[in-house]
Amino acid sequence: DSGVTQTPKHLITATGQRVTLRCSPRSGDLSVYWYQQSLDQGLQFLIHYYNGEERAKGNILERFSAQQFPDLHSELNLSSLELGDSALYFCASSVALAGAGYTFGSGTRLTVV
Amino acid sequence: QQQVKQSPQSLIVQKGGISIINCAYENTAFDYFPWYQQFPGKGPALLIAIRPDVSEKKEGRFTISFNKSAKQFSLHIMDSQPGDSATYFCAASGGSARQLTFGSGTQLTVLP
């Protein structure tokens, strides 16, 4: 157990729907990063939050949004889902602002049908 | 500028052999270079990391070699074991890029 908790582990939904993925960081970690892992794109950085504030955006679609709450858990919202959004979504946390010492969760496998 | 290029895409090694995975980067502001190991159904786990002020770092059977002038770094797995069979990712961060940028991954298979 890495200490980073992601729920749900699996999610199957239809095109056009909206889902919310949840991440609880390791105790004491202030940074949360979201990544999308697909077979053809590898691990793609989506967004970074630090202590409740958005710090960086990567290749995140406008249909996707995220937030980090006062208790430091984070949610990734995916809307108007398309078949191509099917992927593993990972969050990682770290204690610092910079990228050292990431700890990843086990991921949420999203299947859009 | 933000890319990290990794090779080979897949690697098959006999038990006891040496596995070598290479990465190259472009952004000279990068100052942290980790390697992650990922087993099927699991998230990537930090294996070993290096900063550019040293040319080599060893932890057990795992060694990172770093060539700052060539902007290249590599992972060597000595005495490879079937349990090392996994996907390995190199990554880099630094400068304005606080998040890690990952290579495309190498699927390692160690034959018994």
Question: Residue A94 half-sphere exposure, CB side, CA atoms within 13 Å?
Answer: 16
Site from A34, A38, A41, A45 to mutate, B interface, most B CB atoms within 10 angstroms:
A45
Query: Which residue ranges of chain B lie beneath pLDDT 70?
Result: 1-2, 96-97
Kindly determine whether residue A100 and residue B49, on different chains, have CB atoms separated by under 8 Å. Answer: yes
- CA A95/CA A29 separation, integer angstroms: 4
| Distance set, CA B26 to CA A101, B46, B93, B103, B112 (Å) | 22, 22, 11, 12, 37
Return the pLDDT at A101: 76
Return the pLDDT at A98: 66
Kindly determine whether residue A45 and residue B44, on different chains, have CB atoms separated by under 8 Å. Answer: no
Is residue B49 within 8 A of residue B32, CB to CB? The reply is yes
Question: Residue A56 half-sphere exposure, CB side, CA atoms within 13 Å?
Answer: 21
- CA A85/CA B106 separation, integer angstroms: 23
The Cα of A79 is separated from the nearest Cα of chain B by a number of Å equal to 24
Chain B segment 63-102 residues within 8 A of A by beta carbon are 89, 91, 93-94, 97-102
Question: Residue A54 half-sphere exposure, CB side, CA atoms within 13 Å?
Answer: 11
- Is A97 in the B-facing interface, judged by CB distances under 8 Å? yes
pLDDT tens for B19-38 read: 999 999 998 888 899 999 99
Q: What is the DSSP string of A55-102?
A: EEE-S--TTEEEEE-TTS-EEEEE-S--GGG-EEEEEEEESSSSSTT-
Along the 113 residues of chain A, how does pLDDT read in single tens digits?
Answer: 889 999 999 999 999 999 999 999 999 899 999 999 987 778 999 999 999 999 999 989 999 999 999 999 999 999 999 999 999 999 999 887 666 778 999 999 999 99
Return the pLDDT at A100: 73
Among A63, A58, A51, which residue's Cα sits nearest to residue A15?
A63
Return the pLDDT at B81: 97
- CA B74/CA A88 separation, integer angstroms: 26
Please state whether beta strands A64-68 and A74-78 pair in parallel, antiparallel, or not at all (unpaired).
Answer: antiparallel
